């Protein structure tokens, strides 16, 4: 074998000079952002953003703040995992927020108790059928079924009618929101069983988010499914010529995105102990933003779940940071918009520079 160091065929290769992974830059941005809030806090408020400054609490870090940072992004983060694989595959999913709304309503109506404080549950949808106090597996399966159906419809539309993903999922976005409102004629659905309420209790959303993130990071890196996602997003014609069944793969990708949106719906309605037709509005855009900030390329083929998780943390830090600096929520929205555009501009610039260097 004519192999020198890492190179093939006599070419030498310096492993130390390879470019940083894109996730590293995103992580750096996160660190800088935290540092900025820390600095502003110290200078203007005399308080620390990250570290514990209260004497009656032990520990180096302000654990409460750290928990809130990740807790408040974990539900949208679950959606962002699904959206990330869709974008890597060269698509887009605008329907996830509405799928959350519709799924929350439908699933919650199968998770209600019969009596509240000794009186019949006034909100129970199916009390006439006796469908109350059902085991937790029932609403869970109903939810996953809803997400799966919505995702399959998205996937079939995109794969077989060849309409752009933007249009297919826009249609689903509007329709699913309609279903969410129609399901209980706009009434909130409340009083879930204790076992259903346990799903989103405390730090459970974080646990679910992180577990799913790890699972999908592994799937995207080590399985055929993941490899084909990157291949299709990178060059669909090449993938087709290589014998990959593009249509089947796309259906699967959107189905998984639908299921993840449904899981987010369960966690959200369980955490809030109620489901409302307006749940999940704008979540699809927040999820896309997390992915984009995390280095997932909207043109497909590039990005990772790790990047999206860091992107979601950047989101969380911004929200917490603005609360910490006692700035209005309006500013958060404005800054979020700037950061989304900035992240894409930076990514484009970095890609161009790298292309010239190659």
Radius of gyration in angstroms for the set of CA atoms belonging to the chain, rounded to a whole number: 23
Nearest Cα to Cα of residue 189 among 81, 274, 306, 308: 274
Distance CA 262, CA 66 (A): 26
Shortest distance (Å) from residue 225 CB to other proteins: 5
Can residue 349 be called a binding residue for other proteins (CB under 8 A)? no
Can residue 18 be called a binding residue for other proteins (CB under 8 A)? yes
Can residue 239 be called a binding residue for other proteins (CB under 8 A)? yes
Can residue 216 be called a binding residue for other proteins (CB under 8 A)? no
Can residue 201 be called a binding residue for other proteins (CB under 8 A)? no
Can residue 13 be called a binding residue for other proteins (CB under 8 A)? yes
Distance CA 126, CA 204 (A): 28
Kindly state the DSSP code that residue 129 receives in the 8-state scheme. Answer: G
- Out of 77, 233, 280, 321, the residue judged to bind other proteins by CB under 8 A: 233
In the complex with other proteins, the residue whose CB is nearer, 1 or 329, is: 1
User: How many chain residues are in contact with other proteins, going by CB under 8 A?
Assistant: 39
CA distances from 107 to 30, 117, 237 (A): 36, 23, 40
**What is the end-to-end Cα distance of the chain in Å, rounded?**
27
Can residue 356 be called a binding residue for other proteins (CB under 8 A)? no
Distance, C-alpha 317 to centroid of its chain: 16
Can residue 252 be called a binding residue for other proteins (CB under 8 A)? yes
Distance, C-alpha 112 to centroid of its chain: 27
In the complex with other proteins, the residue whose CB is nearer, 181 or 227, is: 227
Nearest Cα to Cα of residue 335 among 307, 314, 355: 314
The three-state secondary structure class of 333 is: helix
Q: What part of residues 278-307 is at the interface with other proteins (CB under 8 A)?
A: 301-302
In the complex with other proteins, the residue whose CB is nearer, 246 or 325, is: 246
Can residue 6 be called a binding residue for other proteins (CB under 8 A)? yes
The three-state secondary structure class of 112 is: strand
In the complex with other proteins, the residue whose CB is nearer, 90 or 280, is: 90
In the complex with other proteins, the residue whose CB is nearer, 55 or 237, is: 237
Can residue 224 be called a binding residue for other proteins (CB under 8 A)? yes
Can residue 156 be called a binding residue for other proteins (CB under 8 A)? no
Distance CA 316, CA 339 (A): 13
Whether 272 and 255 have beta carbons less than 8 Å apart is answered as: no
Can residue 160 be called a binding residue for other proteins (CB under 8 A)? no
**By the criterion CB under 8 A, which residues form the site for other proteins?**
1-3, 6-13, 15, 18, 219, 222-225, 227-228, 230-231, 233-235, 237-239, 241-244, 249, 252, 301-302, 354-355, 358
């Amino acid at each position: 074998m004519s192999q020198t160091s890492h190179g093939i065929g006599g070419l030498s290769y310096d492993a130390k000079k390879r470019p940083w992974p894109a996730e590293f830059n995103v992580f750096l941005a996160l660190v800088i952002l935290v540092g900025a809030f820390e600095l502003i806090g110290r200078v203007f408020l005399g308080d620390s953003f990250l570290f514990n400054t209260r004497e009656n609490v032990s520990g180096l870090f302000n654990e409460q703040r750290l928990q809130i940072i990740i807790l408040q992004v974990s539900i949208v983060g679950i959606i962002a995992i699904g959206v990330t694989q869709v974008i890597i595959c060269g698509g887009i999913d605008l329907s996830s927020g509405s799928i959350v709304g519709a799924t929350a309503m439908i699933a919650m109506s199968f998770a209600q108790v019969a009596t509240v404080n000794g009186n019949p549950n006034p909100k129970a949808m199916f009390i006439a059928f006796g469908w109350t106090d059902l085991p937790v597996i029932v609403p869970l399966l109903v939810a996953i079924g809803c997400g799966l159906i919505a995702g399959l419809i998205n996937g079939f539309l995109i794969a077989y009618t060849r309409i752009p993903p933007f249009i297919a999922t826009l249609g689903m976005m509007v329709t699913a929101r309609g279903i969410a409102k129609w399901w209980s004629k706009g009434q909130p659905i409340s009083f879930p069983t204790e076992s259903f309420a346990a799903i989103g209790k405390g730090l459970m959303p974080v646990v679910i988010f992180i577990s799913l993130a790890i699972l999908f990071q592994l799937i995207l890196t080590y399985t055929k499914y993941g490899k084909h996602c990157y291949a299709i997003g990178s060059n669909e014609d090449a993938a087709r010529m290589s014998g990959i069944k593009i249509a089947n793969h796309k259906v699967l990708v959107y189905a998984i995105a639908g299921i993840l949106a449904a899981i987010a719906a369960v966690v959200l309605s369980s955490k809030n102990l109620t489901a409302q037709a307006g749940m999940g509005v704008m979540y699809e855009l927040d999820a896309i933003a997390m992915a984009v900030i995390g280095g997932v390329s909207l043109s497909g083929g590039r990005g990772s779940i790790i990047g999206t998780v860091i992107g979601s943390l950047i989101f969380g830090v911004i929200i917490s940071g603005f609360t910490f600096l006692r700035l209005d929520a309006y500013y958060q929205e404005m800054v979020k918009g700037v950061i989304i555009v900035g992240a894409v501009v930076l990514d484009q610039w970095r890609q161009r520079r790298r292309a010239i260097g190659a």
